[in-house]
Amino acid sequence: MRTALVCGAGGFIGSHLVKRLKSEGFWVRGVDLKFPEYSDSLADNFFIGDLRDMGFCRTVFDCHFEEVYQLAADMGGAGYIFTGENDANVMHNSAIINLNIAEVCRLGEVERVFYSSSACMYPAYNQDNPDDPNCREESAYPAAPDSEYGWEKLFSERLYLAYSRNHALKVRIGRYHNIFGVEGTWRGGREKAPAAICRKIAMEPEGGTIDIWGPGTQTRSFLYIDECVEGTLRLMRSDFTGPVNIGSDEKISINDLAQLVMKVSGKTLTIKNIDGPIGVNGRNSDNTLIKSKLAWAPSQPLEAGIRETYRWISDQVRLNSVVGASRVLRGSEISSSDKSIGPSPDIFGSTVAPSASFLDKQEELILTLPEKVEKLPKYYKFEKKK
Ligand code: NAD
């Protein structure tokens, strides 16, 4: 049976990737600090633990994997990575995860590894003009990312490439450009622009006003999650190491994105542009390389993905306002925002035991405790019920 490991399987892209790999018949192991927030993981087994811990990484890599997807990172939207307040954590946490994973891939039985880089590694000097940003893959150097998040991505790209050269590890590197879609973070400070705008518009009554950070003339492109997963699998199974952009080339200003969401919502609102972190002035995926190497590129119009995402976020907003703001709803109205539920996301401490109520929620999985339980177990392993 084909086997895959998804690091960051409790996150947005990772949880969608697990679903897709399962639909292709893979046996899948997921690993993360937490389970996915909005639906149960379909992984065959799922480790809850800290990938900054090399001992834990060795445990996770204890069998042969045809495909390893490395998506775990300390990340968030502009409100998390561009304010400067989280720089040390972002660099330290993500770099250690990648140093550990590159090494356990070398030590273990891994056929190939995919690393999720980001368009944030492109130099700021090529992205001053919102109408004509340059994000061709070869424009990465001389390096000058505008955020520490981007510098860490660049470092880790180089790390995986070095392992590829020195240890013959088969590496694939995708540079994601603003991925969005259903079951993504939509509140709490780590959400990205499409989700934040959908939430603001869903919450605002007709005729109201929404705040948009910056002048609103800054441009970006946004890729719907399904095409992100498709591009990731195609790159992984290709002969090209990368790095390759995985993004849409449908560039749009942030104010126009807000107008598009309003159109989808059927509401007319006023946009108020306020001070806030915005990142570079312009960014767009250049898809020349992906077309030439994979004979494929994302093609879905932005509006189609926005329709899906707005529908899902407005449902979340509506259901939350019905049952109270302290609850997060999954498909069947399941609460998971209670802080006592699930292993602690405090990644500096030991993982805290999941409560019984949490285990009830993740109905498909049963808990297997590590054989050697120290004072506090370092990780938890969940197996699908037979
Ligand atoms: P996400 O935050 O939803 O998922 C990342 C997951 O990593 C989280 O579930 C988190 O709990 C897990 N994680 C963090 N630290 C960990 C640790 N120490 N041990 C175990 N797990 C840990 O992010 P996402 O949007 O799914 O992004 C996935 C990857 O793609 C990330 O590497 C991100 O930098 C990259 N990326 C995403 C985008 C985007 O628009 N979403 C754009 C560019 C690059």
- Ligand 1 centre and the CA of 383: distance in Å? 23
- Ligand 1 centre and the CA of 65: distance in Å? 20
Yes or no: say if 197 and 211 are a contact pair by the CB < 8 Å rule: no
Residue 365 pLDDT level (bands cut at 50, 70, 90) = low
Q: Measured between alpha carbons, how far is residue 319 from residues 175, 180, 196, 313, 367 in Å?
A: 35, 21, 17, 10, 30
* Ligand 1: nearest atom to the Cα of 192: 40
> Ligand 1, from 75, 172, 186, 284: best to mutate by most atoms within 8 Å of Cβ?
75
* Ligand 1: nearest atom to the Cα of 97: 18
Q: Measured between alpha carbons, how far is residue 166 from residues 6, 106, 160, 352 in Å?
A: 24, 10, 10, 38
Yes or no: say if 179 and 187 are a contact pair by the CB < 8 Å rule: no
> Ligand 1, from 5, 6, 7, 12: best to mutate by most atoms within 8 Å of Cβ?
12
Domains of the chain in sequence order: 3-384 (3.40.50.720)
Quote the pLDDT of residue 348.
32
Q: What is the pLDDT of residues 59-109, one digit of tens each?
A: 999 999 999 999 999 988 778 888 899 999 999 999 999 999 999 999 988
Q: Is 32 a pocket residue for ligand 1 (Cβ < 6 Å)?
A: yes
Q: Is 69 a pocket residue for ligand 1 (Cβ < 6 Å)?
A: no
| Phi-psi label, residue 118: left if phi above 0, alpha if psi -120 to 50, beta otherwise | beta
Q: Is 50 a pocket residue for ligand 1 (Cβ < 6 Å)?
A: yes
Residue 149 is among the residues annotated as catalytic for this protein: yes
Q: What is the pLDDT of residues 227-261, one digit of tens each?
A: 999 999 999 999 999 899 999 999 999 999 999 99
Q: Is 284 a pocket residue for ligand 1 (Cβ < 6 Å)?
A: no
pTM, 2 dp: 0.89
Yes or no: say if 382 and 362 are a contact pair by the CB < 8 Å rule: yes
Q: What is the pLDDT of residues 153-163, one digit of tens each?
A: 999 999 999 99
Residue 364 clears pLDDT 80, i.e. is over it: no
- Give the 3-state secondary structure of the chain: CCEEEEECCCCHHHHHHHHHHHHCCCEEEEEECCCCCCCCCCCCEEEECCCCCHHHHHHHCCCCEEEEEECCCCCCCHHHHCCCCCHHHHHHHHHHHHHHHHHHHHHCCEEEEEEEEEHHHCCHHHCCCCCCCCCCHHHHCCCCCCCHHHHHHHHHHHHHHHHHHHHCCEEEEEEECCEECCCCCCCCCCCCHHHHHHHHHHHCCCCCEEEEECCCCCEECCEEHHHHHHHHHHHHCCCCCCCEEECCCCCEEHHHHHHHHHHHHCCCCEEEEECCCCCCCECCCCCHHHHHHHCCCCCCCHHHHHHHHHHHHHHHHHHHHHHCCCCCCCCCCCCCCCCCCCCCCCCCCCCCCCCHHHHHHCCCEEEECCCCCCCCCCCEEEEECC
Residue 384, phi then psi, degrees to nearest 5: -65, 140
Q: Is 78 a pocket residue for ligand 1 (Cβ < 6 Å)?
A: no
Q: What is the pLDDT of residues 329-345, one digit of tens each?
A: 333 332 233 222 334 33
Instruction: Say which residue the tokens 């045809």 belong to.
Output: 66
Choice among 115, 149, 160, 379 that is catalytic: 149
Q: Is 73 a pocket residue for ligand 1 (Cβ < 6 Å)?
A: yes
Residue 136 clears pLDDT 60, i.e. is over it: yes
